[in-house]
Amino acid sequence: MAEPIEEYLSKLTAMANLSGDYRSVLNSIQSTERSLPNHHMINVIKGMCFHGLQEDERAAEEYEKAIKLNPNSAWAYFRKGELHRDLGEYGQALDCFRKATEYKPHRPDFWVERGFVEEELDDVPSALKSYEESINHGSDRGWGWYGKARCLIYAQRFEEAQDALKNALDLNPDEQEFKELRGKILEFIRL
């Protein structure tokens, strides 16, 4: 059973992700921060909020504080990787996503983000492995299958790509990116 602080921090994270009202989350976390000044997840959530507010330097500072408090914080590395990815700093992002997947290897979303960055760095074989790890760990939103389909397209394995994308669409039939990729695959198959 999760501790009350863990439940509270999970609620704050969900609130930030769903509402996008990062200022309110920052205000909400102030009292908790005073009572738990050394809880690394407070810094992770603050970093996520600052990132959402496009205050990237402050976000980076919070992630570094979190890592200093807990050097094995998968969430701190994951969120720091998202920041670097969004800044186009793919090498640094990959370093962070590698650590996140090392510390929490069963998180499918961590593997998907790692795969996307590996693709950006033109390391398609590694990206394919990351997407397959995501699938193996229960990716339920289809992004692991989508990434795998993209990698199979690069390898000109179009029918396998079509099968992978079908799995993505079965999990998330309304995702526009999946639908667009389906059209591209069909074009390749017709050629």
Q: Are 132 and 144 in contact (CB under 8 A)?
A: yes
DSSP 1: -
Virtual CA dihedral for 167, 162, 85, 83, nearest 10 degrees? -20
Same domain assignment for residues 48 and 115: no
- Indicate the residue type of 25: V
The reply to whether 96 falls in a domain is: no
Q: Are 63 and 55 in contact (CB under 8 A)?
A: no
The reply to whether 94 falls in a domain is: no
Structural tokens at position 22 = 């990062």
Region of residue 122 (phi > 0: left; psi between -120 and 50: alpha; otherwise: beta): left
Q: Are 153 and 161 in contact (CB under 8 A)?
A: yes
From first to last of the 191 residues of the chain, give the pLDDT tens digit: 445 566 766 777 777 777 778 888 888 787 777 777 788 989 999 999 999 999 999 999 999 999 999 999 999 999 999 999 999 999 999 999 999 999 999 999 999 999 999 999 999 999 999 999 999 999 789 999 999 999 999 999 999 999 999 999 999 999 999 999 998 898 888 76
Half-sphere exposure of 190 (CA within 13 A, CB side): 6
This prediction's pTM = 0.88
Total domains in the chain come to 2
Residue linked to tokens 């499918």: 108
Q: Which domain holds residue 142?
A: 105-191
The reply to whether 43 falls in a domain is: yes
